[in-house]
Structure formats: structure tokens, C-alpha cells
């Protein structure tokens, strides 16, 4: 889905998560490990229900829904994933660790999400932060609107009475 590429990281997502969990006096259980592996197998946006369903279908060890939800929250706290807003108010998850800074265009009608990078936006935000004495260590931009497909006029079929 993403053409953003990756960023060189010093530890694998699993290692980084294990380190984070240790700081919380928790451990990387087999269930948590399965979830991390499934999340980082590909760069797709997902919600917790979709992930839970994927785990069931994959035939891996049974992982409860509550474990999926709790693990995703911990993975977010560890800086591995982040939430992205949806037009309907729900949220989906995406990789944060190992992927470059990027922003999103989100269609309010169909929910399509496009990732993009723009150096001009980054430069403007840095300039604003500098002018205000603010140390910026990242940003998130989610632009809502209508995608090109949803902006097209609907194809209208003529009724027989209209042709008289």
C-alpha cells in the first residue's frame, strides 16, 4: 500500500517492544509477539477488529480480542504504531516505527486514505516552531475532503419517460 519506503532503525519492532515492556515491568508474551509479527508483516492500515480477525484466519495460536486491544495500546505507547482518525470518528492504526514521517489525505465519503510526504510542509512547520521558540520533534497532518473518485458526478441513467 505504501510507497514511502522505510527508515533505518537500530532494533527490530519486536526488540523495541520487548525493551519498552521491560520498562513497564511486563514481558513479551507469545501472544504479544504474534501480534507484533502480524502488525509488521506488511504496511497496511488496520483497526483492532481487522487485526483480531486476521489472527484467527492465520491459524496462529489463539489470541483474545482483549489482548489485541491492550497490546495495540502498549505498542502505541512504545512508539511502534499510531492512530489515524477516520471520517466517521473511528480510528485505525498504522506503523510509526521504521517508516518515514508522512501525512494523510482522508476522504470523508469513502474513507480512502492516501499517504504523502511534502518537504515544504515540513519546512513551514519548522519555521513556525523556530519563530515561537518551540522544539518540534514531529508532526501529524490529516487532511479531510473528497477523493477524486467521490468528486465525480454520478452517472445518471435516463428513465424512459425522460426520453419522450
Binding residues for Zn(2+): 107, 110, 147, 150
Q: Residue 9 in 3-state DSSP?
A: coil
Q: Residue 110 in 3-state DSSP?
A: coil
Q: Report the residue count for the chain.
A: 164
- The helix-helix angle for 13-23 and 30-40 (nearest 10°) equals 140
Is 99:4 a contact under the CB 8 Å cutoff?
yes
Nearest to 16 by CA among 70, 84, 96: 96
Question: Which residues are documented as binding site for Fe cation?
Answer: 103, 139
Question: Which residues are documented as binding site?
Answer: 103, 107, 110, 139, 147, 150
Give the distance, in angstroms, between the CA of residue 158 and the centroid of all CA atoms in the same chain: 42
Partners of 92 in the β-ladder: 84
Q: Which residues contact 79 (CB under 8 A, 6 or more apart)?
A: 16, 20, 96, 97
Amino acid at each position: 500500500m505504501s510507497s514511502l519506503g522505510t527508515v533505518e532503525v537500530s532494533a527490530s519492532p519486536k526488540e523495541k517492544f520487548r525493551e519498552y515492556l521491560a520498562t513497564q515491568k511486563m514481558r513479551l508474551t507469545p501472544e504479544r509477539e504474534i501480534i507484533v509479527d502480524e502488525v509488521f508483516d506488511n504496511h497496511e492500515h488496520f483497526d483492532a477488529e481487522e487485526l483480531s480477525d486476521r489472527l484467527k484466519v492465520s491459524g496462529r495460536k489463539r489470541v483474545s480480542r482483549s489482548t489485541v486491544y491492550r497490546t495495540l495500546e502498549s505498542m502505541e505507547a512504545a512508539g511502534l504504531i499510531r492512530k489515524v482518525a477516520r471520517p466517521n470518528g473511528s480510528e485505525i492504526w498504522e506503523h510509526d516505527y521504521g517508516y518515514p514521517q508522512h501525512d494523510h489525505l482522508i476522504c470523508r465519503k469513502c474513507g480512502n486514505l492516501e499517504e504523502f510526504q511534502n518537504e515544504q510542509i515540513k519546512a513551514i512547520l519548522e519555521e513556525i516552531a523556530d519563530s515561537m521558540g518551540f522544539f518540534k520533534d514531529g508532526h501529524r497532518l490529516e487532511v479531510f475532503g473528497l477523493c477524486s473518485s467521490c468528486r465525480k458526478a454520478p452517472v445518471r441513467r435516463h428513465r424512459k419517460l425522460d426520453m419522450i
